[in-house]
């Protein structure tokens, strides 16, 4: 068959890409067409996303796709991070630049929310773990600080929903991204309207929810003309980047929770795939979360402050006059003493500190541990602490599902970090299978191909991922695993 092309727009916290998924009927080959930087913009004491620049860069990438592939392009779809949103007026005007989830305005909003509605009731209505950056608490902060903006809003669109609106004009929300907001009821599979009313939040601003793989329209005529793509279809893939990444986990065990996935990047998202959301009191106690996936599955998982710790250490090292690349940092970390200093990656001090190394050092002082002083010691501390957090999370997942996790699939950019992969295998005492690196965009374009009728189901989609990817296995080292066992006491404090 002639090669068909599906365009995946994948935007993360540090960069965005427009990537072509080239389908020959058996395998999906990826070709990066355009890459552009992303990051928070500080203005007037706030942190925002430059959403208009992102949209401009996406159009540049689509133009390159039109010149490269012409009429072979079938469709386009967008995935991004969760929780953040843009508000539109009735006429389609943007009501301000969207906030970055690390903006400080949500500090203290959890406690304020619990005074209005008990924690257990919020969890029963949403099934989501409690993080101040969730959409619900961003809306409550907006309600307190800028009620006139909220009053003028006609539609709330999460970041990928907004970019798909830019592409097609459709005001809808895709299932997987809707589940990240803590405004969605996972049992009814609709917006948690009763919860929203209890917080006096407007319910009319939440749009129709559609399933992953839904055709939401054709490219706007103005976009089709500007890019040269013509009136191709716009598909809502699993718009949450982790939802797309998990769709592309190359497991052969679809339908059981005996395998774990670790979507590794700025954030680490570690979990299992289940048919129904888990809303038990124990799930709440462990602060686990239920996020949606392809075929209305749920991802029972924990959000862990991932390689953000290393990224921010690198930034601080460079500010002090020493440029490092990640390969160098991994090398010096591998040479540093093992299991000397450990932190809890999810401690709030690590969310957006001005100086990550200092924050980690302060934590170690407060917990009477040796203070990591060198670049290698700091990065090793970050990586070992992540592996320790992964072990605690695996134990929680096994407790909740009653299934033993036999293998951990690591996907995303962090799957390239061989040192962290080996730490994870050793700490968790089970094999780690790393890859694909580009799981998110693979999931995005394969869901589009499935929407076009090229792929039968999720099982076949994952078979295609295995055939299209190079995977690497990390086996636990018995001596290292024994050393990790000695950290059990610390693990209870960090879990």
Which H or E run contains 459?
helix 458-468
Q: Are 274 and 249 in contact (CB under 8 A)?
A: no
Contacts of 90 (CB under 8 A, 6+ apart): 154
Q: Calculate helix-pair angle for 375-401, 478-485, nearest 10 degrees.
A: 80
Contacts of 332 (CB under 8 A, 6+ apart): 374, 375, 376, 379
Query: Can 426 be counted among the known catalytic residues?
Result: no
Q: Calculate helix-pair angle for 375-401, 326-335, nearest 10 degrees.
A: 90
Distance of alpha carbon 177 from alpha carbon 67, whole angstroms = 31
Q: Kind of pairing, strands 472-474 and 184-185? A: unpaired
Distance of alpha carbon 98 from alpha carbon 95, whole angstroms = 8
Q: Of the candidates 240, 170, 239, which has an alpha carbon nearest to the alpha carbon of residue 207?
A: 170
Catalytic site residue from 103, 241, 344, 426:
241
Q: Are 276 and 386 in contact (CB under 8 A)?
A: no
Q: Kind of pairing, strands 85-88 and 155-158? A: antiparallel
Q: Kind of pairing, strands 190-191 and 472-474? A: unpaired
Q: For residue 472, what are the CA distances in angstroms to 331, 415, 418, 421, 493?
A: 19, 9, 9, 10, 32
Active site residues: 241
């Amino acid at each position: 068959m002639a090669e068909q092309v599906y365009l995946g727009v994948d935007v993360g916290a540090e960069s965005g890409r427009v990537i072509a998924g080239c389908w020959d009927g058996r395998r999906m080959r990826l070709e990066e067409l355009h890459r552009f930087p992303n990051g928070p913009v500080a203005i007037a004491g706030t942190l925002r996303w430059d959403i208009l620049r992102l949209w401009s860069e996406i159009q540049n990438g689509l133009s390159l796709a039109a010149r490269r592939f012409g009429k072979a392009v079938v469709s386009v779809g967008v995935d991004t991070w969760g929780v953040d949103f843009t508000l539109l007026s009735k006429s389609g005007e943007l009501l301000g630049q969207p906030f970055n989830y690390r903006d400080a305005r949500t500090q203290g909003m959890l406690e304020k929310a619990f005074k209005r509605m008990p924690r257990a009731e919020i969890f029963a209505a949403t099934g989501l773990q409690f993080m101040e950056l969730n959409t619900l608490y961003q809306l409550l902060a907006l309600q307190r600080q800028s009620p006139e903006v909220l009053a003028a809003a006609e539609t709330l669109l999460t970041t990928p929903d907004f970019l798909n609106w830019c592409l097609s004009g459709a005001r809808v929300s895709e299932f997987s991204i809707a589940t990240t907001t803590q405004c969605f009821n996972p049992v009814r599979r609709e917006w948690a309207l009763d919860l929203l009313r209890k917080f006096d939040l407007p319910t009319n601003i939440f749009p129709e929810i559609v399933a992953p793989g839904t055709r939401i329209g054709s490219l706007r005529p103005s976009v089709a003309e500007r890019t040269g793509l013509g009136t191709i279809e716009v598909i809502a893939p699993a718009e949450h980047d982790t939802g797309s990444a998990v769709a592309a986990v190359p497991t052969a065990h679809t339908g059981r929770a005996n395998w774990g996935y670790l979507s590794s990047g700025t954030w680490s998202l570690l979990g299992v795939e289940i048919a129904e959301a888990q809303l038990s009191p124990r799930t709440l106690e462990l602060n686990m979360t239920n996020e949606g996936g392809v075929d209305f599955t749920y991802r029972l998982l924990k959000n862990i402050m991932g390689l953000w710790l290393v990224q921010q250490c690198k930034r601080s090292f460079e500010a002090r006059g020493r440029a490092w690349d990640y390969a160098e940092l991994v090398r010096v970390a591998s040479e540093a003493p093992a299991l000397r200093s450990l932190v809890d990656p999810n401690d709030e001090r690590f969310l957006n500190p001005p100086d990550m190394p200092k924050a980690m050092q302060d934590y170690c002082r407060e917990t009477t541990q040796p203070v990591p002083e060198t670049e290698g010691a700091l990065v090793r501390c970050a990586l070992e602490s992540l592996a320790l957090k992964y072990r605690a999370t695996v134990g929680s997942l096994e407790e909740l599902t009653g299934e033993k996790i036999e293998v951990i699939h690591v996907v995303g950019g962090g799957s390239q970090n061989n040192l962290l992969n080996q730490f994870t295998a050793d700490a968790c005492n089970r094999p780690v299978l790393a890859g694909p690196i580009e799981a998110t965009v693979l999931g995005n374009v394969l869901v589009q191909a499935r929407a076009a009728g090229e792929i039968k189901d999720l099982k076949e989609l994952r078979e295609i991922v295995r055939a299209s990817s190079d995977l690497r296995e990390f086996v636990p080292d018995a001596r290292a695993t024994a050393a990790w066992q000695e950290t059990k006491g610390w693990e209870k404090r960090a879990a």
